[in-house]
Amino acid sequence: MSEYLFPFRLFIRVAYTGSFSRAGRELGISQSSASRIIAALERDLGAKLLVRSTRAVVLTPAGSTYLANIEPILAVFDEANLATRGGSELQGRLRLGLHSGVCLREVVPKLSEFLEFHPGLSVDLVAEQPHRDGVRDRVDLTLQIAAPEDATTAMRLIGSTPRVLVASPTYLVRRGVPSSPVALMAHSIIAGPSPTEGGAWFFSRSGKAVSISIEGKMTANTCEVAMASTISGIGIMSTGLWSCQAEIDAGVLVRVLETWDMGDIRLYAFLPAGAASKTVARSFVGHLVSEFHKQV
């Protein structure tokens, strides 16, 4: 790592981690050394970049502006170094945003091989946390189940999985097995985060299409919470097969209305548009597409 660039890299890590000690550990220096280096950077700039709060080290307005300006410059520098060195091994840090339960089950396990192939690469996993500091939520790549909304991002489809209905064996013994989509109206429904259109579930079979309005007896804002509720016997939930295959194989969940098609749930990768996207982020997207293709 260039000695000249070290203070800037340290500043970025302190901004993202909110901690001199953690940033120092990542870069191999003590907390006191990290504080001295940042203090020297602030003196050179003639501006206060960071202040300590009761919970963390936070950016000042000047620090936020400086971070927004300096980070793209270092990214370009890293890209130039990578191109000059040649070879396929990536270095640096990837900040990966995960915004659905399927990411924890299907994406995180696929990180291992990628990191083994690129030992010089580090990864920050940022799970969906709406109340986190906006700076530390800034990511190089976001993986989520959603339609594209932001024109400033580039989107790529990673893979898709069938939407299915599942319930616990105990629930089905107690309440009975629904024989048709309409029969679901008499059942307890768990509405999870898996996207639906207008609160309706859509079914098709042999050219026949059926839609039913759903009103959840319970709602959950994460797949894992909805899954735990379903396993406990509260009701029937709709989710992607990725998210529940292990539970089906273990016998703790059973598919319902299996002969009806409910369409697919799709996993997308979102990257900053144009030159703002990092080589490492684009490479990881390619790795994921390849790995998910093997599962088809």
What CATH number should be reported for the domain holding residue 224?
3.40.190.290
**Same domain, residue pair 29 and 109:** no
pTM here is 0.70
**Same domain, residue pair 50 and 168:** no
**Same domain, residue pair 107 and 237:** yes
| Residue 215: domain span | 92-296
pLDDT of residue 131: 43
Q: In this model, does residue 10 exceed pLDDT 60?
A: yes
pLDDT of residue 196: 61
What's the gap between Cα 107 and its chain centre?
Answer: 8
Of 87, 119, 141, the residue at which a domain comes to its end is 87
**Same domain, residue pair 206 and 291:** yes
What total number of domains does the chain contain? 2
Mean pLDDT of the region 84-95: 73
199-256: pLDDT as tens digits: 789 999 998 999 988 887 888 877 888 899 999 999 999 998 988 999 999 999 999 9
Band of pLDDT at residue 132, cut at 50, 70 and 90 = very low
**Same domain, residue pair 99 and 36:** no
**Same domain, residue pair 79 and 202:** no
**Same domain, residue pair 76 and 128:** no
**Same domain, residue pair 182 and 279:** yes
**Same domain, residue pair 11 and 120:** no
Mean pLDDT of the region 24-40: 91
Count, in order, helices (H) and strands (E) of the chain.
Answer: 10, 13
Residue 213 phi, psi (nearest 5): -80, 135
Q: Are the CB atoms for 282 and 269 separated by under 8 Å?
A: no
Q: Which of 12-26, 87-101, 181-195, 246-260 has the lowest mean pLDDT?
A: 87-101
Selected residue with higher pLDDT from 137 and 9: 9
**Same domain, residue pair 182 and 75:** no
Band of pLDDT at residue 130, cut at 50, 70 and 90 = very low
**Same domain, residue pair 1 and 62:** yes
